[in-house]
Amino acid sequence: MPTGVAIREVREQLFAAAERVLLRDGPSALTSRAVTTEAGCAKGVLHRHFADFDAFLAELVLDRIARIDNQAAALRNAAGTATVADNLTGALTDLFGAVAVAIVGLVTSRDGLRARLRRTTPTGIPVLTEAAAMIASYLTAERELGRIATDADIDTLAPTLVGTGHMLFADRKGTPPEAGAIRKVVTAVIAGVVQEPPR
């Protein structure tokens, strides 16, 4: 078991270094040398744990997608609490932290990476596709509780919320959008389907 722990620690160290390079310098600066230099380790370390650099990047994206799965469970458990708009505003804010937006940029800028990710995300853009599934799952739970109209088109609402959220956060080098701006968009998108639970 100690070997597994060491490998996990190396992976996390390399992933964290890749995120720092990605956030600071953008997708085009993300090379194996940049990652290992940032991580403070020899270049061979990365290639010892991953078949090639695209394999490393694919694992980085898949690791971040797994984090969306954790967020999805928490969001679904929030159904019936607070307001639908507040829950969605919080979910989009958490989802589109700087790293997620940068990861989407990375995926769209590297053909080899996108090709590898097609194995697990055959359609859409990885990260955004999983985010839309997270929102759809939450909206379905709210519909079951009567807080969303039974005829609500969740398959349209979820990607609309994710796409709009991504637009609000994308290309920002400084301060992220304020919660009020996000909530305003969320409220507009869900205005026709939110309803009071039946009494």
Confidence grade of residue 2 (pLDDT, cut at 50, 70, 90)? very low
Residue 84 pLDDT = 96
pLDDT over 70 percentage in the chain? 91
Alpha helices in the chain (DSSP H): 2-25, 32-39, 43-49, 53-77, 84-95, 98-109, 111-117, 128-144, 154-169, 179-190
Asked if pLDDT for residue 148 goes beyond 80, the answer is: yes
Note whether 44 and 60 are same-domain residues: no
Note whether 137 and 173 are same-domain residues: yes
* Residue at which a domain ends, from 9, 27, 49: 49
| Structural domain includes residue 198 | no
Kindly compute the dihedral angle of the four CA atoms of residues 130, 171, 102, 104, in this order, to the nearest 10 degrees: 40
Note whether 67 and 24 are same-domain residues: no
User: Can you give the CATH number for the domain in which 58 is found?
Assistant: 1.10.357
| Structural domain includes residue 155 | yes
* Residue at which a domain ends, from 34, 49, 64: 49
Note whether 64 and 41 are same-domain residues: no
- Distance (Å, whole) CA 152 – CA 131: 19
Residue 150 pLDDT = 95
Note whether 35 and 86 are same-domain residues: no
Asked if pLDDT for residue 198 goes beyond 60, the answer is: no
- Distance (Å, whole) CA 155 – CA 83: 20
pLDDT in tens, 66-125: 888 889 999 999 999 999 999 999 999 988 876 788 888 898 888 888 888 888 877 888
Note whether 71 and 116 are same-domain residues: yes
Asked if pLDDT for residue 138 goes beyond 90, the answer is: yes
Packed helices 154-169 and 98-109: angle between N→C axes, nearest 10 degrees: 100
| Structural domain includes residue 197 | no
Note whether 21 and 113 are same-domain residues: no
Question: Helix, strand, or coil here: 148?
Answer: strand
Of residues 108 and 145, the one with the higher pLDDT is 145
For residue 137, the enclosing domain spans 53-190
Of residues 143 and 44, the one with the higher pLDDT is 143
| Structural domain includes residue 66 | yes
Residue 1 pLDDT = 35
Separation of first and last alpha carbons in the chain:
55
Of residues 171 and 42, the one with the higher pLDDT is 42
Note whether 143 and 171 are same-domain residues: yes
Note whether 23 and 65 are same-domain residues: no
User: Can you give the CATH number for the domain in which 25 is found?
Assistant: 1.10.10.60
Q: What is the pTM of this model?
A: 0.85
Asked if pLDDT for residue 5 goes beyond 50, the answer is: no
Note whether 80 and 168 are same-domain residues: yes
Note whether 64 and 86 are same-domain residues: yes
Residue 174 pLDDT = 63
pLDDT average, residue stretch 156-179 = 85
Name the average pLDDT for the chain.
Answer: 87
| Structural domain includes residue 195 | no
Note whether 102 and 34 are same-domain residues: no
Packed helices 53-77 and 128-144: angle between N→C axes, nearest 10 degrees: 10
Asked if pLDDT for residue 140 goes beyond 80, the answer is: yes
Residue 4 pLDDT = 42
Number of domains in the chain: 2
pLDDT in tens, 9-30: 888 999 999 999 998 888 889 9
